[in-house]
Structure 1
Amino acid sequence: MAQLKQTLPEDQYDLVDRVLEFAACAHHGQFRKSGEPYITHPCAVAKILIDYGMDYETIAAALLHDVVEDTEMSREDITQRFGAVVAHLVDGVTKLDKINMVSRQERQAESLRKMLMAMVKDVRVIIIKLADRLHNMRTLYALNEEKRRRIAQETLDIYAPIAHRLGIYAIRSELEDLALKYLEPEKYEYIVSEVAKLRPRQADFLQKQMDFFKTQLTEMGIECEIEGREKHVYSIYKKMVNQGREPNEIYDLMAMRIIVNTVRDCYAALGMVHTLYKPIPGRFKDFIAMPKSNMYQSLHTTVINSAGILFEVQIRTFEMHRTAEYGVAAHWKYKEGKEDKDFDEKIAWFRDLKNIKDDEPDPEETIDVTRLDMFTDEVFVFTPKGEVITLKRGSTPIDFAYRIHSRVGDTCVGAKVNGRIVPLDTELNTGDVVQIQTRKDGHPSRDWLLIAKTNNAKNRIRGWFKREMKDENIAKGKEMLEKEAKRQGFDLYKDLFISEWLEPIFKRYTFHEMDDLYAAVGCGGVSTNQILQRLIEECQKKHKQERKAELLEKAKQAAHRANQNARTPSHGVIVKGQENMLVRMAHCCRPVPGDPIVGFITRGRGVSIHRADCSNLLSLIDQGDDRIIEVAWAEESPEGYRACLSVITLDKTGVMAEMTQILSSMGVPITSVQGHRGKNKVFHTEFEIMIQDIDQLERIIKQFQKMPYVIEAYRGTM
């Protein structure tokens, strides 16, 4: 707070102070897994953001970011006390753990989608979330190994790529290193150890080079700072995996950064470096003329000295250096209260996010955009006017057209690359000059969905078909669904389109009528598999239930009629149409005379007898209806049957003896007993007993239910 007091106006400082007091009260009595008071976490997140120079509203939201999720406070409470902006930021960061999603993947996708959509309105949401994840990773040691690995993998898959895309190198590198520490602890420790051995020698060499360059630039009249940069652990790990190198074989393990005042000075410094040392061909990159999509700018070159030692030099301005370290946190559009109207255009990925928001795809598509587009290599191509356009590697003229403007993409009919007409599926390379040919009556083709590589282009193409060709989409969607359902052996309308089965699909994809569903499939927004998979599962479930009911009815009928085709019962059971068949009672349900039963033909073990209401019957039906056979109890059972009696009693001395005495007095043999203590001072006992029929078991249960210490007695499965 002392740090804030020096930088914030009094009214802003007072608000943050009130927020801190409110958060401390809201989290009172809560503790982290590490044993620390919970308030230490939001305070640590706020400290990270203070170090990044974020504004008072961001700091306030960081202090409150877990209040809505983990306490009784609501967004309305925060709005009323601290304003709508702070409440919006908190809501954007809040995870959706309380939402009832089908799977962890759906919940994660929806949570991420909400976070990214809030980010489109205000990038501070993602900066808070990244700081939150960074502190959680720093304290991950307090969790069990399974949770550590899950959170570390999620960090590597989602949060580190987001930090990379937003240019926040400091957070990205620490997240990656911490994730590697928990996912590959032995490799992490090995790299740390090897780098520690190499550091003194490399640092000494680098320092001499930096002192030499400093002298040269000073003589040229260029003010500068020169510092060393050590490659972070995860980056070394990737080179080891991808290139098969050991740490001592990585030439850019340490590099130097020359930081100057102006762009002119950058190129002057580059000239000095290349004059003194020979540059390595193919190792020079000009990210000043062609900035990365996350706004990163710098000159990179690798040179070799007279001793044959290679080393990397990065040259940038002080402003570029801050952007390289802090990304959007250094250039966010509310800085000093002034909105930067060009901000979205500076970050190409932001435009893709806005397209997601506009097109409202399936939530899981957001995961794809995030995970697949984050770390892809990039190419830099030019418009005929010389503007640099950044695209993912593998992009085509269609991706280029939609990057320029959706209308250019929608009316594209051809393309020229470097003055030559090329097919629309041509892969673009860095340095290409691309010109798009358009026509007023031009429009997208469905084949473009297979050609386009960027999610931006694919979303725009789907959006066009969704808007402009609804009738055609409806007809095509119907045809696609009917064809796929038939291929899988179902009649779409008779077997699958049941209103109660369609209801959750309508809710998930916000369909209002059947035409919306058909149109979504027809335009490619939703796949036939996404619709049919759930319906087919419901249909198969219904078939199993009907089959089970049919078997139950047959079993009841079989129990009341004599079987003319079998003369010799086995284990007191008659198998229809069979004689001297090996029969055994299923352990899963332990049928006894009086239970409706069915037989299941096993492989090499005769017929297994199950109760008709056995919970395993549906899985048996899956193995083949033809293996289900009709069986019935013989009129006389020559032997007893094993049954399970479950009893829950108060945990009192002598209760077990009393129960065994009752069974003994009723002439019921006990073959085994298992027991364990439960919660709330109760005891669970499982008796395996020998009985003649279901009536005898029911009499035993009634007798047990009369005991004063018995809470519940019922037929078990043991």
Structure 2
Amino acid sequence: WQRDMSDNREFMHILKSDLDLFSDDVYCFTPTGDVKSLPKGSTTIDFAYSIHSAVGNKMIGARVNGRLVTIDYVVKNGDRIEILTSQNSKGPSRDWLNIVKSTQARNKINQWFKNELKEDNILKGKEMLASYCKTKAVNMADLMKTEYMEAVMKKYGFRDWDSVLAAIGHGGLKEGQIINKMADLYGKDRKQEMTDDDVLREVSEQTKTKIQGRPGSGIVVRGIHDVAVRFSKCCSPLPGDEIVGFVTRGRGISIHRTDCVNIIHMNEFDRVRLIDAEWETKEELAGKEKYLAEISIFADNRNGLLADVSKVLTEKNVDILTVNSRTSKQGNATISLSFEVMNKDELKKVMDRLRTVESVIDITRSIG
């Protein structure tokens, strides 16, 4: 009786009315009349890969119900779809991974990149690991040991290291996953190798007299002489904040707030480089210098909002260094500001005054 229906859409409409089968799937047709079931929201790319990997990999376009459509066209119930292919096609685009809806299509696209671009992905994976280590100030040579590589291969089910690198290169694995795993192993080995003399040396350093960092920084660190101190831009610490130091490679000590997300989520390998730090006393800090503060203001958008915010800062004798404002489609405004203040108490007074501005909902500090 299906063949008596001259219009596929009419058939699908009747079937949908009689049987509520279409909440999670859409049903469409090949040019020969075969029915294909796809997840709701699927595109013509999903349809192509549901036919065969070779069809999807060589796809260059599609016709739906006899007319040309873009490849991100969302399939509807009853559509008759013809996939256009070419032997000159260079294969799928990485952008397709953001377009497809079905797991089947996504897996087949990923498989193509694994097989066709393995050499390129291996090189890219190496570069991504090296870049990640450089960003995190990790000595990559310490981690590239056979036993650590084998542990990673076993954990993620790879037979050789090149396959791990290729997986990183095409996006199947995150470089941070690999380095953090290897760093944890390195950290455990390092603890086991520590001698009694190493332990005594560390205790001795922890009990040394506090020595100030760079002149004018207002920071006191423990156990290190003539240290260069800089304030991290991720959380912008101020006098009055609880702080901690992080020993970088070649750039001295970076000072963070203890609630900075980079400190909270730091892996065990990096935590051994944290060091006690604190502010000088209020008397020692008095009149020394100002420090960078960064805040975000959330408000209902209105005319004059930015002007009112600027007026408050002028009243408080605060000079704005940077300002960025954006508004959502729902009319919610976010204003990001940076300026300099003497300490946390001064910042609190500024924030309290800003909260009284009309339509302001909330104000937060940057925490990384």
Q: Which band: TM-score by shorter chain?
A: 0.5 to 0.7
Structure 2 residue 85 is the aligned partner of structure 1 residue 178: yes
Which residue in the other structure is 1:422 paired with?
none
| % identical aligned pairs | 21
Tell me by how many angstroms 1:540 deviates: 4.9
Preserved contact between residue 293 and residue 341 of structure 2 (Cα < 8 Å): yes
Preserved contact between residue 621 and residue 628 of structure 1 (Cα < 8 Å): no
Which residue in the other structure is 1:630 paired with?
276
Structure 2 residue 310 is the aligned partner of structure 1 residue 660: yes
Equivalent residue letter for 1:566: I
Are the structure 2 counterparts of residues 686 and 576 from structure 1 closer, same or farther at C-alpha, using a change threshold of 3 Å? same
Tell me by how many angstroms 1:16 deviates: 11
Are the structure 2 counterparts of residues 5 and 673 from structure 1 closer, same or farther at C-alpha, using a change threshold of 3 Å? closer
Q: How does 1:469-488 map to 2 (within 5 A)?
A: none
Deviation readout 1:27-56 (Å, 9 max, x if unpaired): 9xxxxxxxxxx99x82x42x4236xxxxxx
Preserved contact between residue 48 and residue 55 of structure 2 (Cα < 8 Å): no
Preserved contact between residue 591 and residue 643 of structure 1 (Cα < 8 Å): yes
Which residue in the other structure is 2:211 paired with?
566
Equivalent residue letter for 1:684: T
Q: How does 1:371-386 map to 2 (within 5 A)?
A: none
Preserved contact between residue 570 and residue 582 of structure 1 (Cα < 8 Å): no
Tell me by how many angstroms 1:529 deviates: 3.1
Structure 2 residue 39 is the aligned partner of structure 1 residue 49: no
Tell me by how many angstroms 1:641 deviates: 0.7
For residues 246 and 310 of structure 2, what CA distance do their matches in structure 1 show? 35
Equivalent residue letter for 2:324: Q
Preserved contact between residue 210 and residue 220 of structure 2 (Cα < 8 Å): no
Are the structure 2 counterparts of residues 648 and 48 from structure 1 closer, same or farther at C-alpha, using a change threshold of 3 Å? same
Which residue in the other structure is 1:708 paired with?
358
Equivalences, count: 257
Which residue in the other structure is 1:70 paired with?
40
Preserved contact between residue 258 and residue 264 of structure 2 (Cα < 8 Å): no
Deviation readout 1:45-99 (Å, 9 max, x if unpaired): 2x4236xxxxxxxxxxx17x24xx329xxxxxxxxxxxxxxxxxxxxxxx9x9xx
Which residue in the other structure is 1:595 paired with?
241
Are the structure 2 counterparts of residues 614 and 563 from structure 1 closer, same or farther at C-alpha, using a change threshold of 3 Å? farther
For residues 132 and 17 of structure 1, what CA distance do their matches in structure 2 show? 31
Preserved contact between residue 570 and residue 580 of structure 1 (Cα < 8 Å): no
Which residue in the other structure is 1:682 paired with?
332
The partner residue of 2:155 within 529, 533, 536 is 529
Preserved contact between residue 650 and residue 709 of structure 1 (Cα < 8 Å): yes
Q: How does 1:250-261 map to 2 (within 5 A)?
A: none
Are the structure 2 counterparts of residues 627 and 651 from structure 1 closer, same or farther at C-alpha, using a change threshold of 3 Å? same
For residues 128 and 24 of structure 1, what CA distance do their matches in structure 2 show? 29
Are the structure 2 counterparts of residues 680 and 573 from structure 1 closer, same or farther at C-alpha, using a change threshold of 3 Å? same
Which residue in the other structure is 2:131 paired with?
none
Which residue in the other structure is 2:300 paired with?
650
Which residue in the other structure is 1:607 paired with?
253
Tell me by how many angstroms 1:643 deviates: 0.6
Preserved contact between residue 221 and residue 277 of structure 2 (Cα < 8 Å): yes
Are the structure 2 counterparts of residues 49 and 181 from structure 1 closer, same or farther at C-alpha, using a change threshold of 3 Å? farther
Tell me by how many angstroms 1:621 deviates: 5.2
Deviation readout 1:675-716 (Å, 9 max, x if unpaired): 122221222211111112222222322222222310221113
For residues 620 and 657 of structure 1, what CA distance do their matches in structure 2 show? 39
Deviation readout 1:444-499 (Å, 9 max, x if unpaired): xxxxxxxxxxxxxxxxxxxxxxxxxxxxxxxxxxxxxxxxxxx659xx9xxxxxxx
Are the structure 2 counterparts of residues 180 and 640 from structure 1 closer, same or farther at C-alpha, using a change threshold of 3 Å? farther
Tell me by how many angstroms 1:666 deviates: 2.3
Equivalent residue letter for 2:365: R
Are the structure 2 counterparts of residues 143 and 622 from structure 1 closer, same or farther at C-alpha, using a change threshold of 3 Å? farther
Secondary structure of 2:292's match?
strand
Higher relative contact order (CA 8 A, sep 6+): 2
Equivalent residue letter for 2:14: E
- Normalization by structure 1: what TM-score? 0.29
Tell me by how many angstroms 1:587 deviates: 0.6
Tell me by how many angstroms 1:580 deviates: 3.7
Tell me by how many angstroms 1:22 deviates: 3.0
Secondary structure of 1:699's match?
helix
Which residue in the other structure is 1:345 paired with?
none
Preserved contact between residue 241 and residue 257 of structure 2 (Cα < 8 Å): yes
Which residue in the other structure is 2:15 paired with?
22
Are the structure 2 counterparts of residues 132 and 25 from structure 1 closer, same or farther at C-alpha, using a change threshold of 3 Å? farther
Are the structure 2 counterparts of residues 17 and 625 from structure 1 closer, same or farther at C-alpha, using a change threshold of 3 Å? closer
Secondary structure of 1:575's match?
strand
Tell me by how many angstroms 1:673 deviates: 1.6
Structure 2 residue 344 is the aligned partner of structure 1 residue 699: no
Gaps of 5+ in 1: 7-12, 28-37, 51-61, 72-94, 98-110, 112-125, 148-173, 186-362, 373-486, 493-526, 545-561
Preserved contact between residue 650 and residue 711 of structure 1 (Cα < 8 Å): yes
Q: How does 1:350-429 map to 2 (within 5 A)?
A: none
Are the structure 2 counterparts of residues 594 and 654 from structure 1 closer, same or farther at C-alpha, using a change threshold of 3 Å? same
For residues 605 and 707 of structure 1, what CA distance do their matches in structure 2 show? 41
Deviation readout 1:633-673 (Å, 9 max, x if unpaired): 11132111101121122222222222122222223332222
Equivalent residue letter for 2:51: L
Deviation readout 1:224-260 (Å, 9 max, x if unpaired): xxxxxxxxxxxxxxxxxxxxxxxxxxxxxxxxxxxxx
Preserved contact between residue 62 and residue 71 of structure 2 (Cα < 8 Å): no
Secondary structure of 1:630's match?
strand
Preserved contact between residue 62 and residue 70 of structure 2 (Cα < 8 Å): no
For residues 687 and 128 of structure 1, what CA distance do their matches in structure 2 show? 48
Equivalent residue letter for 1:604: G
Are the structure 2 counterparts of residues 143 and 714 from structure 1 closer, same or farther at C-alpha, using a change threshold of 3 Å? same
Tell me by how many angstroms 1:595 deviates: 1.6
Preserved contact between residue 351 and residue 363 of structure 2 (Cα < 8 Å): yes
Secondary structure of 2:250's match?
coil
Are the structure 2 counterparts of residues 648 and 625 from structure 1 closer, same or farther at C-alpha, using a change threshold of 3 Å? closer
Computing the radius of gyration from Cα coordinates, the structure with the larger value is: 1
Structure 2 residue 62 is the aligned partner of structure 1 residue 138: yes
Secondary structure of 1:656's match?
helix
Q: Which has the higher helix share?
A: 1
Secondary structure of 1:686's match?
strand
Equivalent residue letter for 1:614: C
Q: Which has the higher strand share?
A: 2
Equivalent residue letter for 2:327: R
Q: Report the aligned-residue RMSD.
A: 5.5
